[in-house]
Structure 1
């Protein structure tokens, strides 16, 4: 338990960095937001068609953990964002994440280039499912594989 506490503790310097961040309010419709700029900057789309997205992403140093590995939360964010992109249909209500299951299989370090593929697995009613695979471009190793379920409310009949 003590080892976990030490590992999860935040240094005073880290605390000051976070406390000193200035995040301006985001106006709806503006692009990109602070969040999108922080987490998705550098994402390059290679192909996008209904049900299949292919892109690459160079791991930025600010999205690594204390061990220098691509942070699990940042990987989950990519699974969420790119999984949604595979089922996005313009003019329909926005889908929301219902469930994600991610297998973290090998580490990626800062500046590693990842190939990311997102594939729609299917749709049943208002529910959709996607599979997102992050692979290290240089080594070919799968970094993570995520299954993502989404729900889109039916369009209003009013």
Structure 2
């Protein structure tokens, strides 16, 4: 328990940095929320094909943990967001699907300014369920950072 408490303590520098954050509110007619601005800013879509999305992302210092590595929460976020994007059904709201299961294998890590390639593939659909796989690689070395399987559910209108 003591080890967990130590890991959660902020240094003076971290405390000052947090106190200086400007957090814009999410208001009607505002294009992005704090979450989108903080976590998703910088993702570039390189290629879109039926069932495949390939993105690039340069790891910013804001997503680095205390050990100097890309935070595991950021990796989980990429699996959720990019996996959800490839599962999107044209003509339905983006929020039409909800995540019901994610399984992520962490193979390596990334550091600030590493360029990542994030590839999401649609595995299939059955009823309201959709399965995707998301792979994060270091773009320069090809090293596998993480691989995630993502299941989503959406109640889609019948086409009949």
**Normalising by the residue count of structure 1, what TM-score does the alignment of the two structures yield?**
0.89
Moved more, 3-12 or 46-55: 3-12
Conserved? CA contact 2:97–2:154, under 8 Å = yes
- Give the paired residue count: 157
SS in 2 for 1:106: coil
> What's the CA shift for 1:34?
1.9
What is the match of residue 38 of structure 2? 38
Once the two structures are overlaid, the 10-residue window that deviates more, 84-93 or 16-25, is 16-25
1:91 shift after superposition: 1.7
Asked if the contact 2:130/2:152 (under 8 Å) is kept, the reply is yes
Q: SS of the residue aligned with 2:42?
A: coil
1:135: how far off? 0.3
- Tell me, in whole angstroms, the C-alpha distance in 2 between the residues paired with 1:59 and 1:36: 15
Q: CA RMSD in A?
A: 2.0
CA deviation map 1:1-60 (0-9, x unaligned): 433332232235434433443323213453222211211111111111231001111000
Tell me what 1:122 maps to: 124
Work out whether residues 24 and 33 of structure 2, in 8 Å CA contact, stay in contact via their aligned partners in 1: no
- Residues 104-158 of structure 1, C-alpha deviation per residue, up to 9 Å, x if partnerless? 11010000001110001111100101000000012211001011011112338xx
3-state SS of 1:102 partner: strand
1:91 is aligned to 2:91:
yes
User: So what's the TM-score if we normalise by structure 2?
Assistant: 0.88
Paired residue secondary structure (1:98): strand
Q: Quick one: distance in 2 between partners of 1:118 and 1:28?
A: 30
Note the residue ranges of structure 2 that are not aligned, 5 or more in a row.
none
Q: Which residue of 2 aligns with 1:108?
A: 110
